[in-house]
Chains A and B, each alone.
Chain A
Amino acid sequence: MQQNPAVTVPVQKPHNQRQRHGDWKQAILLLLPMVVFVLIFTYLPAGMSLVLGLFHYHLLGVNTTFAGLTNFKDALTYPIFWTALKNTLIYAVYMVPLTIAGAIGIALLIHQKSRYYAMLRTFVLLPYITPVIATAIGWLWMFNPQYGMFNVVLRWLHLPQSQWLQSPSMAMPSVALYTLWHGLGFNVVIVLSALSSIPRHVQEAAAIDGATGWTRFRRITLPLLSPTVFFLLIITTIATLQAFSQVYALSGGTGGPAYATTTLLLLIYQTAFQDFHFSYAASMAMLLVLLILLLTLIQNWLSKRWVFYQ
């Protein structure tokens, strides 16, 4: 430090090291708030979720005791758990393709540069930002078997009517209809943004070569969209397996009729927060997490066969 200031400039190292050390202290201070929140509300509960299912945990009075795999065994031998699993999986089997196909279809339809189509995009996205419970009211009314819009129209067209949410076979598809209405716009916007990044000249070159509209879609648009489709596939599968609020609203919190709309997350909610069997519910949650993980891994593995990265 006795050096002439003019000479210190090239000799940066000691200065830098002190700088690094000083930054550490400041970094800890600046990172601390975030770290505290992440530790308490994500890392700690994530760790707890791994072990909670292995205990008998009670909120008040009773001591926590080790349960081994009892909770998991109980869940796997509980008929309603299998009903919920079946409901959730069947729901996913039609919801995921419908969401992706619907999003691509609507996006292709309204992918036009004009105020008219921008307005229609607004209509399609609008439901996505609305609160689920509040907007489910309008749908409950439309699903009403006597006076609801759906049956009124079917009656008018002389088509067979449905009991919608009150019919065990139609209740879950009715929930799906609401969910598509609420969430499809989000997917449409993602596909639209992918579509606008496809260079025009690729399409034009294919058209010059005589490719028809369908061939261009099949051979050019779809492959170029495939990374987006893969992204939608993953997030839609996860969102579908986590269906809760709309099921709660449309079934009046029951998961009925006759457990027809009892999804896994609704069953976990009822078990934990209505019956207060926390560890039992935690073991179900762990099974749901494993299911989501498994499906994501399978989709990821399969994606190597069909996703095309430029």
Chain B
Amino acid sequence: MSSRVERSTSPNRRKMLAGFRAVIALAVGLAFLFPLYIAFVTSLDTASQVFVFPPHLVPSFDFKSYIRVWQMARWAMYYGNTLFITLTTIAIALTTSILSGYALSFLEFKGRNAVFMAFLLVLMVPAEALLIPNYVILHEMSLLNTRWAQILPYGASVFGVFLLRQFFLGLPRSYWEAAKMDGASHLRFLWSVAIPLAKPVLFTISLFIFIGSWNSFQWPLIVTTSHAVQPVEVEVSRLMLAHSVDWRRLSAAGIMTTMPLVVLFLFLQRHIIRGISRGEGLQE
């Protein structure tokens, strides 16, 4: 800090400003936390507490709503679907982007840049233009109303290709030259050298696909009608329409669905923040 700034604001005044800032910032932060907290409190209310004035902010830890809401729907099945869809999407998207990311960096062939541009062009296609045609395509493939209908349209991650190509281009060529000397094929080199080195990148890509896939609602709502293949979010929306005044159980369902992501976030937020700063959060 310069001397002039120090002269213009006395230490006392600066301390006060810092305190003022800390208080305002806390208010903003709590405002973002509050809606989750109020749902949490409501989900733990006893029956007589919900419609009471003034509202209370201390939970009473009555877990009956959770037990009741667990009995209201086949959650194990919906969670199973969500998990299957999320993990399969990650597996497919990682495979496609690793293979092409590698081809676009370690292999030399004519039209390499053209292929890369053709992939990047995907980012320019607006998502809402694809809703109806993709529905028609899945209908023609007889895949409507399956888990695959919720997976396959997300099988190609252009951000995945972009990041992996970038990463592989940064690897020293000598690694490959050395592996080739030892008689390794490209696939062998990819599997035992390139992929292990790319683990942090693969982790970030998986993380964002996970969040997008776990939270996806619009597409599952469109392509599925039978409960047996639907994810948690669709079931929650159905409960919401059917039991619109049962706030305790609805809140319990909401908290149940949100919790896994909150836990994930608290552990991995550094990766998530770094990913968003690099623009990867846009891939949903």
Instruction: Give the residue of A127, A140, A278 whose beta carbon is less than 8 angstroms from that of B136.
Output: A278
Q: Mark A258-287, 1 if CB is under 8 A from B, else 0.
A: 000000010011001100001001100110
Which A103-150 residues sit within 8 Å CB-CB of chain B?
Answer: 106, 109-110, 112, 116-117, 119-142, 144, 146-147, 149
A46 in contact with B54 (CB, 8 Å):
no
Instruction: Give chain B nearest CB distance to A143 CB in angstroms.
Output: 10
Grouping DSSP codes into helix (H, G, I), strand (E, B) and loop, the A interface class, with mixed when no group exceeds half, is: helix
If the complex has contacts A34-B96, A134-B258, are A45 and B137 also in contact, measured as CB distance less than 8 A? yes
Smallest CB separation, B6 vs chain A (Å): 10
* Contact of B108 with A19 in the complex, beta carbons under 8 Å: yes
Contacting chain A: which of B26-34, B58-66, B72-80, B195-203? B26-34
Contacts of B282 in A (CB 8 A): 235
CB <8 Å contact, A189 and B218: no
Q: Does A306 reach chain B (CB closer than 8 Å)?
A: no
The interface on chain A, measured as residues whose beta carbon lies within 8 A of the other chain's beta carbons, has a size of: 96
Contacts of B136 in A (CB 8 A): 45, 48, 52, 57, 59, 278
Within 8 A of B (CB), among A161-205: 181, 184-186, 189-190, 192-193, 204
Q: Is the CB of A129 within 8 A of B211?
A: yes
For the complex, count residues of B whose C-beta is within 8 A of A.
98
B residues within 8 A CB of A23? 107-109
| Distance of A235 Cα from B283 Cα, bound (Å) | 12
- What's the nearest-Cβ distance from chain B to residue A111, in Å? 10
Given contacts A141-B42, A156-B54, A282-B133, contact A186 B276 (CB under 8 A): yes
Neighbouring B residues of A289 by C-beta, 8 Å: 126, 128-129
The answer to the question of A2 belonging to the interface, with a C-beta cut-off of 8 Å to chain B, is no
Min Cβ gap A24→B in Å is: 5
Between A42, A46, A125, A242, the greatest number of chain B beta carbons within 10 A of the residue's beta carbon is seen for A42
* Distance from B212 Cβ to chain A, minimum over Cβ atoms (Å): 10
Is A221 in contact with chain B by the CB < 8 A criterion?
no
Knowing A45-B137, A137-B251, A138-B254, say if A126 contacts B262 (CB, 8 Å): yes
Q: How far is the CA of A152 from the CA of B38 in the complex (A)?
A: 13
Docked-complex contact A26 and B186, CB < 8 angstroms: yes
Q: Mark B240-265, 1 if CB is under 8 A from A, else 0.
A: 11001001001101111110011011
Question: What string of 1s and 0s marks CB contacts (under 8 Å) between A22-40 and chain B?
Answer: 0110110011011101101
Q: What are 25 contact pairs spanning A and B, CB under 8 A?
A: A26-B107, A27-B109, A35-B100, A37-B156, A41-B156, A46-B133, A119-B29, A126-B33, A129-B211, A129-B272, A131-B215, A131-B258, A133-B233, A134-B236, A136-B240, A136-B254, A192-B277, A193-B277, A207-B2, A207-B4, A238-B126, A245-B217, A245-B218, A281-B132, A285-B129
Known: A41-B134, A135-B39, A138-B36. 15 other contacts (CB 8 A): A30-B102, A34-B119, A37-B96, A37-B156, A38-B118, A124-B28, A126-B32, A127-B35, A130-B215, A131-B233, A131-B257, A134-B253, A137-B251, A141-B39, A147-B50
